[in-house]
Each structure stands twice: as structure tokens, then as C-alpha cells.
Amino acid sequence: MTPAEAGAEHEEKLGRLARLAAQTGAGGILLAGHHNIAWLTGGAANRIDASREAGSARLLVTADGRRFVLANAIEMPRLVDEELAGLGYEPIEYSWTDDQDPAHAVRAARARIASGASLAADWPLPDTTPIEASLARTRALLTDGEIARYRALGAEAGRLMARICRELSPGDDERDIAGLLVDGAAAMRARAIVALVGCDDRLRRYRHPVPTATKWRHVVMLALCAERHGLVVSLSRIVVSGAPEDLDAKTRATASVFGRLLDATRPGATGADLFRVAADAYAAAGYPGEERKHHQGGAIGYRAREWVAHPASAEVVQPRQAFAWNPTITGTKIEDTALLLDGRLEILTTSPDWPSIPLANGLTASDVWPLS
């Protein structure tokens, strides 16, 4: 993306925030969450400690469109020189000792908005109005630049997963396989925010198999959520060597649920609508009730799931939005990230030369990989 394109995307998002502030009656919006700052800036990071969802730096966008970066004296020079270079943020710097008081940044932000106006924030901060749910909807509509970055990330993640899977051998330790996912993501300038590996009995017992000191013999599943420029893709693959007899039938049944979810992912559909689609698809495939054993996925973007489909969900599918569906039947799973654009779906995380199961509309689901 050229500097001009990056600047235009940033200005569009600033406009969205200013409109949101006006709609909610706030004098400004204070952002602290990594996902929101990455969204607004096209990938800038405000964290030093990656175990925290919010960093010490905050961005303030006022209802009249002004922009500020609030940070302590440790972080400000780097933020201005590198992360926010060329984006026109006015610095509000304070001592790191002042930063120990969460209310200090709030007071500094309040000094930049109209007296008596409310201050909205994406993070639980004193004397602010929570606004994260509205921000999530503001993030949902992908720009052309985000779509290009998403396609590149998805393609690389699909290739990475295929390469790792093809190099596996029975007897590999789950933790070592997870290490390959983490290292592989880093090599493509991404971060593995989820790296699950589960094999054999653990795969049948646990839907979220955190890797352990277990060596796989017959079946192993790898699941990866990779983040780059703030955007996240999710995908899972299964490798088999002497698989259980029912794995093929279960995987095809899971693929049918995946296909029904993809087909129903259309602008205007609600999360509740999509949950019902999944439930009906499991029943039609001969596995009623599986939708209650694990979430089915949902919208993805600057979080691994922006929202998941569930019976009471009122979230609505947007026309330019990414989705990661992950239906499971005990012992198997299908998961990929797809982009809804102009009424059409494309799967972003396909793996080259990977076995596939045909679905409707020319799409496919990733099948298991049989070791030769």
C-alpha cells in the first residue's frame, strides 16, 4: 500500500470515529485496545507487553476530527518516530509515574474535548462511557487496503500450514508441532495468537486441545490464528496415519455444516440466523446437538472472533466482512477464513494442493491429509 493509500484509509477511519462520537453524543473517543489502534492506523502497535490487550499508549479522536496520541515519556519518541509517523497525531506526553494512575490519561483527554462533554472509551477507564460494541461494528466494514492485506495474510498462512503438515511424522510431540506454527508465523512477520495441537484420544476428548507432551500416532489436528498488521486469520488442518474408520464420514458431515454456513453468510443475516443454520445442518448430517459442544465461529477481523454465532446474537453480517467458521464433530474439525465481498465468498486460507471436499458455489472445504 502506498503512503497515499495508507493516508486515505486512515482518514476514512478517522471520519468513522468522528461520526460515531457525534452519534453517541461524545466529545471524543479514547482508544487503548490493541485491536482498535491497529485498525485505525493500519497496523500500528501500542503494546510492549504482548500479554496485555491494552498498551500504555492511547489515541484520542475528537468529535470535530482532531487526533492525539497520549503516552508516557518512555514510549512517546518511538511512537511518533515509527508507529505513527506521517499520521499527524499531536503528542500529549507525561511522566511514566503519572501513567501509573489510569485516570491521568482520562484527565488529559478530557482537557482536549468540550467542557462537560462525555468521553467514550474502548477500555474500562474511570469516568468514561464504554463503546466497544459500537466500535466493533465500525471496524467491520473492510477497506480496499484491508482486503488486500487480508488476502496476502490468508494465502501465506494457508501455505505455511500445508508445509508444516506435510513434514509431520507419527511420534512428533504436540509441543514441537506448536513450535513450528509459532516460528512459521514469525517468519512471515505475523504472530501466532492461537496455536493448538491435539492428537488421537485428546482430539476426541477436547475441542480446544492446548499442546501437551503427547506424541501423535494416528490423527493430529493443528489450529492457528495468525495476526499481522492487526488482522487475524484462523485455519485448522488434520493429518492422519491409519485414521479411525469413522473419521472420513465425520469430516464430510462437518464439511456439509461448513458449506451451509458459508452459503448462509449473506448481508443482513444475524448471528442467531447463522446459529440456526448450523444446528439444522448438524441434524441433517445425522449429528444433532453438535452445535452445543463448541461454538461455530463467526466474524473475524482485528480479533480472532469479532463475534460468534449464538442463539441470542443480534449481530448482523456486513457486505465487506471476514468470517471464520469452525464446525466440529467429535474427533474432527474444519476451519478456514473467508471474505464476503460484493455478495460473493472467497476462502482466504486455502492450502495449495491440499485434499478438498466440494461445496456449493465453487467453494471447497479442507479435507484430512493422509500420510503416504
Q: Is the pLDDT of residue 11 over 80?
A: yes
> In sequence order, which ranges of 82-143 are alpha helices (DSSP H)?
102-110, 132-140
Over the stretch 29-45, which tens digit does the pLDDT of each residue have?
A: 999 999 999 999 999 98
Q: Is the dihedral of CA 177, 179, 185, 191 positive or negative?
A: positive
Report the mean per-residue pLDDT for the chain.
95
Look at strands 67-72 and 90-94 and give their pairing. Answer: parallel
Q: Is the pLDDT of residue 6 over 90?
A: no
Residue 303 has pLDDT above 90, yes or no: yes
Q: How far apart are the first and last CA of the chain?
A: 42
- Give the span between the Cα atoms of 246 and 41, in whole angstroms: 48
- What's the pLDDT tens digit per position in 203-259? 999 999 999 999 999 999 999 999 999 999 999 999 999 878 899 999 999 999 999
Q: Which fold has domain 144-370?
A: Creatine Amidinohydrolase (3.90.230)
CATH superfamily, region 3-139: Creatinase/prolidase N-terminal domain (3.40.350.10)
pTM of the model: 0.95
Task: Flag whether pLDDT at 3 surpasses 80.
Answer: no
Return residue ranges of the chain for CATH 3.90.230.10: 144-370
* pLDDT level of residue 55 (50, 70, 90 thresholds): confident
Task: Summarize the confidence of residues 165-180 as an average pLDDT.
Answer: 98
Within the chain, all domains assigned CATH 3.40.350.10 are found at 3-139
Residue 83 CA to residue 350 CA, distance in Å, equals: 31
pLDDT of 168 above 80: yes
Could you tell me how far CA 339 lies from the centroid of its own chain? 12
Residues comprising the chain, all counted: 372
Number of H helices, E strands in the chain: 10, 19
Whether 316 contacts 269, CB under 8 Å: yes
Instruction: Give the pLDDT mean for 131-140.
Output: 95
Residues 308, 325: Cα–Cα separation, whole Å: 9
